[in-house]
A and B are shown apart, each in its own frame.
Chain A
Amino acid sequence: MMLATIVPTSTWYLILGAILFGIGMVGVLVRRNPLIMFMSIELMLNAVNLTFVALSTKLTDINGQTAVFFVLVVAAAEVVVGLGIIVSIMRRRSEISVDDLSALKG
């Protein structure tokens, strides 16, 4: 069978990472809900992680996977701080939209 002999190469993973990054970027640009914007940022981070792992496997270099490990840690810290900021802003406002947050004044 013809299909069984096709093996996905690292180029396929890189292209999938590029598409995922594009979707995340459009999400950040289009959506107004700060929570959804955060999720889109997570999508972009995951796209970069996928690219790192694909190249790490392709080039037989483990340092790419180490970079992904650090990206995971930083992403966790970033989400914690960001959600803390969103919660403390939303205590004062009921509507959740980044258009209302154009001024830093509470």
Chain B
Amino acid sequence: MELVVFICAAAMVLAGALGVVLRSNPVHAALSLVLTLFGIAVMFVSQHAEFLAAVQVVVYAGAIVVLFLFVIMLLGVDRAENLETEPLGIQRPLAIILGLGFVALLITAILKGRDALNMRGDGINVASDGDHDANIRQIARSIFTNYVVAFEVTSVLLIVAVVGTVVLARKRKSDKDLIGVAP
């Protein structure tokens, strides 16, 4: 059963990821991104990280992708772009070779470290000790004790992001006014 879930979720993730990279229409790419994010959320559930799965669906699929779609529609770039023309001829094969080599390196490292990992980890479920809220309670304890400073700094980061976006997106009326007022 777990195997079936893994295979379905992995197919979702990989199909969505290839869709993001290969589709020429940005709207289709954004919808493929949703497919990938839901696949990742399914994997979080099967890894007993239920809180993160919920946050993944709400924040990523609910907020970030909608933001992408808003910007695509706002800029009016929801047409298919021509992927055939490539100014730098060598770039694509070079990028694909680089990507394949990097993946091969990572997989080699994972397979080399598998024995050490199996020796250290006994693979008990993080969450399920017959207690359905255990995962959320553990994350809350971790965030609000060990990482409480990082959590507070995160709120500063969010405020900075909001203010920065407002500054970037507003119309520059004040520039002209300043020029006009200047003696």
Interface size on B, residues (CB 8 A): 81
B106 with A13: CB separation less than 8 A:
no
Known contacts A39-B20, A66-B143; A84 and B164 CB within 8 A of each other: yes
Q: Does A36 contact B (CB under 8 A)?
A: yes
B63 with A76: CB separation less than 8 A:
yes
A63 with B121: CB separation less than 8 A:
no
Interface size on A, residues (CB 8 A): 72
A72 with B56: CB separation less than 8 A:
yes
A30 with B139: CB separation less than 8 A:
no
Question: Min CB distance, B176 to chain A, in Å?
Answer: 15
Which B residues lie within 8 Å of A83 (CB)?
67-68, 71
A39 with B95: CB separation less than 8 A:
no
B95 with A22: CB separation less than 8 A:
no
Which A residues lie within 8 Å of B126 (CB)?
56-57, 60-62, 65
Contact with B along A75-102 (1 / 0, CB 8 A): 1111111011111101000001001000
Contact with A along B77-91 (1 / 0, CB 8 A): 100010000010001
Distance A23 CA – B39 CA, assembled complex (angstroms): 15
Smallest CB-CB separation from A26: which chain B residue? B99
A21 with B103: CB separation less than 8 A:
yes
A96 with B77: CB separation less than 8 A:
yes
Q: Does B3 contact A (CB under 8 A)?
A: yes
Q: Report 17 cross-chain contacts, Cβ distance below 8 Å, ordered by A residue.
A: A4-B1, A24-B17, A26-B21, A29-B95, A36-B20, A46-B40, A57-B123, A58-B123, A60-B124, A62-B141, A66-B139, A66-B142, A73-B154, A73-B158, A75-B60, A80-B67, A90-B75
Q: Which 3 A-B pairs have the closest CB atoms?
A: A22-B103, A29-B95, A18-B106
User: Contacts A4-B3, A16-B13, A77-B160 given; 18 further ones with Cβ under 8 A?
Assistant: A10-B123, A13-B43, A16-B43, A19-B14, A29-B99, A33-B26, A39-B20, A39-B30, A43-B20, A57-B48, A60-B122, A65-B138, A65-B142, A86-B71, A87-B71, A87-B74, A87-B169, A99-B87
